[in-house]
Structure 1
Amino acid sequence: MEALTSDLTSAQERQLCDLLGEVRLHLLYKASVHGYYANSFHERCDNKGPTITVGYNSSGYVFGGYTAKPYAQTGQYINDNTAFLFTFQGGNITRFPVSNSVYSRIDNGNGPTFGQDLYFLYNNSATIHCKPGHYYTFNAATLHGNNLQLTECEVYQVKENTLLSKPWRNIQWEAERRQSLMESIKNYKPLINSVSQIRVLLIGPVGAGKSSFFNSINSIYRGHVTSQAISGHAATSLTTQFRTYTVKSSREGKPLPIVLCDTMGLEESEGAGLDIDDISNILKGCVPDRYKFNPKAPLQTDDKEFCKSGCLEDQIHCVAYVLDSCKISIMSSKLEEKLAAIRKKVNQMGIPQVILLTKVDEACPYVAEDLQNVYLSPYIKNMAKEVSVRVGVPCVLPVKNYSQELELELSSDILLLTAVVQMLRFADNYFDDISPELAKKV
């Protein structure tokens, strides 16, 4: 059977939802399709939770009732103090709350019934039965114009709304936007001539997706999913070396003006994972590519591998904290303390910072259903606020890395590329800030 089409206007649906909070309506039953029969109604609407019944008549009235308690044909009176009747007049909705909630409706085998006041599908027909004043206070003429003949009857399931009416951040999802972002990154030039490539340091717990982020950006420019950097799931960090990854504009193309620096994962326990002193050395440009981390003994200034020059070209120009959105709520205080200590060092050097919020599709089922719901999800929005406060970094960028996919996906690409563009913009801000200082040294 084809999808049902609602007779409610978008404005009417919005007003009904506004009465109930953050909800959405899902059409279960439509009398013109399923028949004006009580058993047809129950077949589709029993045990579906809260519902709204909407009647339409030839006089142009749109009216009905809401009940929070599911239909189950128990034969009992239902106590529901949230129940109400409603009608639309002049584009506005009028609500008539239940006056005696103990008898808000009878849960029997008839059609939708509200107390003894309003019956839909009366005697299995396209009519209503109306006797105001028993358990709801309303005027019949106001509710439905004294027209008892139905032209349509619909029943909607009321679902908790996990999507916002407007996105909390505007983004374009067209293929042209992906191409525009790719070109913008490819043609970017740092504001300072002595720097040819922006260096972004990726910091985060084990398994958050640092290496996968590089692989994902590399995949976009290669045109297929790649796995150059070691990534996967493990209890300890799969990355044991400091790696600087350059992305090429194509397989045989020129390097992009950005270097993604991958580090060993942060771990909670002392003497495990990336040491904060090593991070300080990386920020200053003193750690060479492929340096093997030793959590128990960070790189020292007298070590032969220590790069003493630390020129601006080799320093870090933006820091990205890579955090798993599925683990934000269970982030330990020890890990939070480590991130705070790192942020303090980064702040002292004036380096801009962002948060990459990974695995957003695993955190929210509606984002898993369609990645373009990421900025419509109040769950992801609240999570972004939470992690921003806990880490102390305002800019939070949701992304979905490539992991098990075999082909590229437009929505994933746009989120990933948008994150890279934001890093480049922040690096520009950093160069703007240090330019006067460099000028004094010339």
Structure 2
Amino acid sequence: RSVVSSGSRGAQRTICAQLRRVKLQLLYKASIHGFTGAAFHQRCDNRSPTVSVGYNNSGFVFGGYTKQPFSQSGQYVNDDQAFLFTFNGENLIKYPVTNPTYAVRMIANSGPYFGGDLVLVNGSQAVTYSNPGNYYNFPAAEMHGNDLNLTECEIYQVEGKCNIRPWRTVTWESKKRTELIESIKSYKPTVSSVTQPRVLLIGPVGAGKSSFFNSVNSVFRGHVTSQAISGSSSTSLTTQFRSYSVKAGREGKPLPIILCDTMGLEETKGAGLDIDDLSSILKGHLPDRYQFNPSAPLHPEAHGYRTSPGLKDKIHCVAYVIDASKVSIMPTGLEEKLDAIRRKVNLIGIPQLVLLTKVDEACPLVKEDVRNIYKSGYIKDMQEVGSRLGVPLSCVVPLKNYSEELELDMNCDILLLSAVIQMLRFVDNYFDELKPEGRPQEGSRV
């Protein structure tokens, strides 16, 4: 049962009408959860879009809207749709952001922090901070009557309508799942010297690279399994270069694909995957279980270094693994690293795609039912990550890894298997670009 104060029902209806959305889901209510930044962040981080509403003893109802998910990064985030508002009776008065770059600031010790102009639960106290004229213009007396003591603060997640028509067509049937599995099992590269194409997974710490391998492995094992170390640590749990082969069943043959896992990307220099090591990986020099050293790239003298790798040792496709719930708050340092990697991969001529993970955390409609993934306007908008990484929208594949589940889910399986099919198609593209003498046999395509 959601807790809603009776005085806020009219405000809810008006806000919903303004945003043309279906409903507001209450995430945080200060009188119950506490007037603290910690309580607010615990319940509201990574949720978006949101409406924040403050109430005072003078009868004013006011607040702000942002499409950006909250965090505790200390950074300003850009939001050209953010606005502040107050009520005049049943009428909503909006004050749009004047400088979108500073629309919202993510402060740990406060509630919603709109640019430094309006802060609710400021400094973990039941108070409002008000300083109009920086990035929002509003008359203070009209906004809150200059009464800065809060009697209540509520944060709602705005739940959008499902698009009636999906923007990609998926067949959610067990027959489709079986077809995808058979298609992957029977795949043969178009080049005879390669039996298992290699796909490199690259992404920030905690985005779900190791989880993706575990999830694909689970589909073919017939139950949820965990071979690669995965988790939610703030530093990379993968410290070695790992090449994982997936078997078709417990005693089955290896599938015609190898998933290569690397250290997670970190925004600070000298931490996480080193860009120079990446070149060695792409060109096939790195041995399996090579121990990464972020402060020193790989040397040709290292144990197991392949001095003259063959085509089968090289990377044939790169998949960026990105957490859908954190796309909009990706730190600049990380974005710059990804851009440098993309340019390097482009130079070598390796096809690239994006795996958008944790879609259920990013959109409540998808959390409700993963089949809403291609009906969710929010997930479609998330595909902006494609343009930010210089990858066409058709190369962005949303999916859900297995994390806390104990049983397989047919719909999750279909998304995971579709991602593998997409990888194999990209591998075909890589081999197609090779000189004709590199292709003595024709394999089966997917």
* TM-score, normalising length: structure 1: 0.64
Q: 1:322 to 1:79 in 2, by over 3 A?
A: closer
Correspondence for 1:426: 426
Indicate the SS of the match to 2:241. Answer: strand
Larger radius of gyration: 1
Correspondence for 2:376: 377
Q: 1:201 to 1:369 in 2, by over 3 A?
A: same
Q: CA deviation at 1:301?
A: 2.0
Correspondence for 2:386: 388
Q: CA deviation at 1:305?
A: 2.8
Gaps of 5+ in 1: 1-18, 26-76, 82-158
Q: 1:420 to 1:78 in 2, by over 3 A?
A: closer
Correspondence for 2:235: 236
Work out the CA distance in 2 between the residues paired with 1:161 and 1:367.
11
Q: Is 1:269 aligned to residue 286 of structure 2?
A: no
Aligned counterparts, 1:355-366, within 5 A: 355-366=354-365
Q: CA deviation at 1:80?
A: 9.4
Q: CA deviation at 1:436?
A: 2.9
Q: 1:24 to 1:227 in 2, by over 3 A?
A: same
Specify the code of the residue in structure 2 equivalent to 1:364.
Answer: C
Q: 1:23 to 1:283 in 2, by over 3 A?
A: same
Q: Is 1:321 aligned to residue 302 of structure 2?
A: no
Q: CA deviation at 1:331?
A: 0.5
Indicate the SS of the match to 1:355. Answer: strand
Instruction: Report which stretch shifted further, 211-220 or 430-439.
Output: 430-439
Q: Is 1:307 aligned to residue 306 of structure 2?
A: yes
Greater RCO (Cα-Cα under 8 Å, separation 6 or more):
2
Gaps of 5+ in 2: 1-16, 24-88, 94-157, 441-446
Q: 1:382 to 1:299 in 2, by over 3 A?
A: same
Contact kept? 1:317, 1:352, Cα under 8 Å: yes
Q: CA deviation at 1:78?
A: 6.4
Specify the code of the residue in structure 2 equivalent to 1:221.
Answer: F
Q: 1:160 to 1:298 in 2, by over 3 A?
A: closer
Q: CA deviation at 1:402?
A: 0.5
Specify the code of the residue in structure 2 equivalent to 1:285.
Answer: G
Contact kept? 2:285, 2:308, Cα under 8 Å: yes
Indicate the SS of the match to 1:322. Answer: strand
Q: When the two structures are aligned, how many residues end up with a matched partner?
A: 295
Work out the CA distance in 2 between the residues paired with 1:171 and 1:226.
26
Correspondence for 2:282: 283
Correspondence for 1:256: 255
Contact kept? 1:203, 1:263, Cα under 8 Å: yes
What's the CA shift string for 1:17-36, capped at 9, x where partnerless? xx9996569xxxxxxxxxxx
Work out the CA distance in 1 between the residues paired with 2:306 and 2:183.
32
Aligned counterparts, 1:20-419, within 5 A: 161-384=160-383, 386-394=384-392, 395-419=395-419
Q: CA deviation at 1:302?
A: 3.0
Correspondence for 1:435: 435
Q: What is the CA RMSD across the aligned residues, in angstroms?
A: 2.3
Indicate the SS of the match to 1:288. Answer: coil
Work out the CA distance in 2 between the residues paired with 1:372 and 1:436.
42
Contact kept? 1:371, 1:412, Cα under 8 Å: yes
Contact kept? 1:22, 1:160, Cα under 8 Å: no
Contact kept? 2:224, 2:406, Cα under 8 Å: yes
Q: CA deviation at 1:291?
A: 0.4
Indicate the SS of the match to 1:268. Answer: coil
